[in-house]
Structures are given as C-alpha cells and as structure tokens.
Amino acid sequence: MKAVVIGAGVAGAASAIALRRIGAEVTVYEAYPDPAGPVGAFLSLAVNGLRALESLGCLEAVRAAGFEVDRQRMWSGRGRLLGDVPRGRRADDPLRSVTLMRADLVAALRAEAVRLGARIVVGERLPGPGEGLRGPGAGEEPGDGAEAGAVVGAVAGADLVVGADGLRSTVRRMLDPDAPSPAYAGLYGVAGIARGVPEAGPGRTFNMTFGRRGAFAHLPAPDGTVWWSAQIADPVAPAEIKLGAEELAEVFGSEAVPRRILGAAERIDAATLFHVLPPVPHRQDGRCVLVGDAAHPVGAGQGASMALEDAIALARALHSAPGAPAASGLPAALAAFERERAGRAGKLARAAAANRDAKTAGPLASLVREAVMPLVFTRMYTRSTDWLYDYRPGVLPQ
C-alpha cells in the first residue's frame, strides 16, 4: 500500500510510524521547512498518550526529552488551593505524565519515522481546492508555487491519503468543500520560560491558577526554570498578540504567583489564538482520512495524545480489515477507524468545552468556583477522567 501523509507534525509523524509498522510505503509532505524546529511551546502527555508512544516505539525517547509530572494543583486567583489530583493518570498508575517542548516531541517521532523507512519531504504543501498550481511569487514560502505539483502527483497516485495537516486542513476541504471552519474560542495564549522563582512550588507539579481575566499554568522544571502559559479571555480576537512579560504581569496583576513568575520571565516561546471547530461530518471517503486536529481539535491538554491514538487506531484498522492492506480493503478499514474514534473524540471535545468555559468565566462565576470546587473537584476527578486515562491503544507489528 502506498500512503501519502500531509503534515509532519505530531499527527503526521506518528501516522508515518504506524503505517510503516504495517508495511505501507509512506511519504510525508510538510509545508514548513523544518517541522521539528522551534514551533510552539511546551505540552503535556497524559498516560493514554504515553501508552500510544509505547506502541509506536518512541516512549523512552520522549521521556528523555522531557520530565515527569506527578501532581496537578488548581488554585484560585487569591491563592486558595481548589484541588490536588494525580496529573493525567489514575492514582495507582505507575506511568507519570510527561511535559516537553512540542518541537522535541515532533523530533523524536520524525526520527523514528525516518528510521523505519518513511520519506519526509519538507517545504512543500498541498494546494487547497480550486487553488491550482502557479509559479511562486515574491516572498512566498517553498511549496507555494509550481513545485507543489510533486505533492499533487503523489496524492493522485497514492492508495491512501492521510490528512494530518491541522486545524486549517487542506485535506478536510478536499473531502468536503463545505466542511466547517475553525472559529476563535474567546481565548488566546502566551507561553514562555522564567528563571529564579523559588516560590513557584515543588517540582513534578503542574499548577493552574484561575484568575480574573483568564488562567495561568506553571510548572517547575528540573533545571530550575519555570515553564508557564498564560491563557487570556477576550471575546474579540486580537489582530496580533503583542503582549510581553510586563504587559502579561499587568493582566494577572491580581494574582500573586502568576505576577511573580511573569516578573522573572526570560523569554516567550509562543503566542497563539485558541480555536474551536464544529463536528466534522466527513472524516474519510474510503481513500482519504483525517487524523489529529484536522478531524477533531479537542484541546484540554489532549491534542497530542489524541493524535497519537489516531495514528495507532488507523494502522490497526488497516492491518485487520478484510482485504487490507490492499487498496480494496481501504473503505472498510477507514469506516471502522472512523467509528472507533468518533465517540471518544466527541466525548473529549465536550469535556474540553467545559474546561475552556472555566477559563473564560467572569468574576461572578469565579467566586462560585472558589466556593464549590474544593468540595467537588477531587472527588469528581476520578469519575470524570478514568475513561480517558484507562484507554489502551493496542499493539502494532514490530
């Protein structure tokens, strides 16, 4: 089976690994010159994502690139502890959540994909529907011009096309020109690194502070730095996120710990708008299939983990369907994959919406949360997350 993967981020690189494990010939096309370069800030992988990495053969490499986080603590803006639970796992799970830079996760996955024989072509993108091919104009990125014909030809000749091209997926538009488009979620984020903050709390602990104007996450890293992410509620999407550490400290001026960490910030790694995407009605057509954010941008700290799960579920469906891995078996395999993933992704999307609403709540809702959350959060945590962390993705051929 000849497979083309569009996108070499987490979803694309993981799909390349999984498809190579079942014997597919895989070529990955990526618009950015270096998909493993400094793109984005840090992310966390819960135990379901770590089990997916284990199936892909990348768990130890990813662990080595990051650090384990044991606990998650939720705080009010006034410093009141609202909840203290295991981070991304059941209390009795021997695995521990891992936090690392997104670029390091992509690099580990891409290295394994190449080791297994996948071909990764960077600097080339797939033109959108109706865009056609043209010569490159002044200042355009590689892949914007006639050289994109290589991608188009590869897609036309492939048995399987995997759309791992993110929130603004071109493959999603290929599948359905009327597919939903992402919309601003009322929240934007800035992330970076601080140094010299002894009051940041104990190591191996993820902290989330619910402030008056958004939420602030931080966790002490083993090297003495503090990794932080400020998520700011704003009903109107800013045309450009220009906030530096000083301006962010003013935004969180009512919250002592975030203000102190931002005062010690030494760099900003990423600034991004958060988006939501309505349910995608067509995720596959018997030859093309969407994975990761192209199909379901779930958020809630589970985007990378869901992409990893998708990659394994796709390969397993292809490997076990009648007639697979021959092209004749693709429609049944992709239909089975879609059925398996739709329910889990939909349930997580609903949980993510509640998570997002908590970060954009106004002052009154914040007061209610401070009164109620200490009473219910810890006892409800297991009931509301066990289904997520108990997932077993299954094994792939080695």
d(CA 86, CA 84): 7
Assess whether pLDDT exceeds 60 at residue 38: no
- Please report the pLDDT score of residue 369 as a whole number: 62
pLDDT per position as a tens digit, 150-189: 899 999 999 999 999 999 999 999 999 999 999 998 999 9
Residues 175 and 46 in one domain: yes
d(CA 17, CA 112): 7
Domain of 333? 2-67+100-181+278-359
What would the mean pLDDT of 336-356 be, rounded to a whole number? 83
| Residue 390 forms part of a structural domain | no
- Please report the pLDDT score of residue 23 as a whole number: 94
Assess whether pLDDT exceeds 80 at residue 64: yes
Residues 200 and 132 in one domain: no
d(CA 319, CA 160): 13
Place 133 in a pLDDT band, splitting at 50, 70 and 90. very low
Residues 63 and 31 in one domain: yes
d(CA 109, CA 186): 32
Q: For residue 345, give the nearest of 307, 398, 311, 392 by alpha carbon.
A: 307
pLDDT per position as a tens digit, 1-11: 999 999 999 99
Place 142 in a pLDDT band, splitting at 50, 70 and 90. very low
- Please report the pLDDT score of residue 88 as a whole number: 94
| Residue 94 forms part of a structural domain | no
The neighbouring-strand residues paired with 184 are 275
Using an 8 Å Cβ cutoff, are 355 and 302 in contact?
Answer: no
Q: What is the CATH number of the domain that holds 226?
A: 3.30.9.30
Assess whether pLDDT exceeds 80 at residue 379: no
Residues 55 and 28 in one domain: yes
Residues 256 and 131 in one domain: no
| Residue 308 forms part of a structural domain | yes
| Residue 81 forms part of a structural domain | no
Kind and range of the H or E run holding 19: helix 10-21
d(CA 218, CA 322): 48
Burial readout 308-346 (b: 16 or more C-beta within 10 A, e: otherwise): bbbbbbbbbbbbebeebbeeebbebbbebbbebbeebbe
- Please report the pLDDT score of residue 138 as a whole number: 36
- Please report the pLDDT score of residue 24 as a whole number: 95
| Residue 389 forms part of a structural domain | no
- Please report the pLDDT score of residue 139 as a whole number: 42
Residues 139 and 255 in one domain: no
- Please report the pLDDT score of residue 298 as a whole number: 78
Report the percentage of the chain scoring pLDDT > 70. 85
Residues 34 and 127 in one domain: yes
Q: What is the CATH number of the domain that holds 137?
A: 3.50.50.60
Assess whether pLDDT exceeds 50 at residue 145: no
- Please report the pLDDT score of residue 354 as a whole number: 66
Is the C-alpha dihedral spanning 212, 215, 221, 227 positive or negative? negative
Question: Poorest-confidence range of 164-168, 211-215, 361-365?
Answer: 361-365
Residues 57 and 205 in one domain: no
- Please report the pLDDT score of residue 61 as a whole number: 97
- Look at 381 and 338; give whichever has higher pLDDT: 338
- Please report the pLDDT score of residue 135 as a whole number: 34
| Structural domains counted in the chain | 2
Instruction: Tell me the pLDDT of the chain averaged across its residues.
Output: 87
Residues 250 and 309 in one domain: no
Place 212 in a pLDDT band, splitting at 50, 70 and 90. confident
| pTM score of the predicted model | 0.90
| Residue 18 forms part of a structural domain | yes
Q: For residue 226, give the nearest of 191, 274, 271, 270 by alpha carbon.
A: 191
Assess whether pLDDT exceeds 80 at residue 46: yes
d(CA 334, CA 314): 7
Residues 270 and 293 in one domain: no
- Please report the pLDDT score of residue 202 as a whole number: 87
Residues 215 and 328 in one domain: no
Residues 38 and 113 in one domain: yes
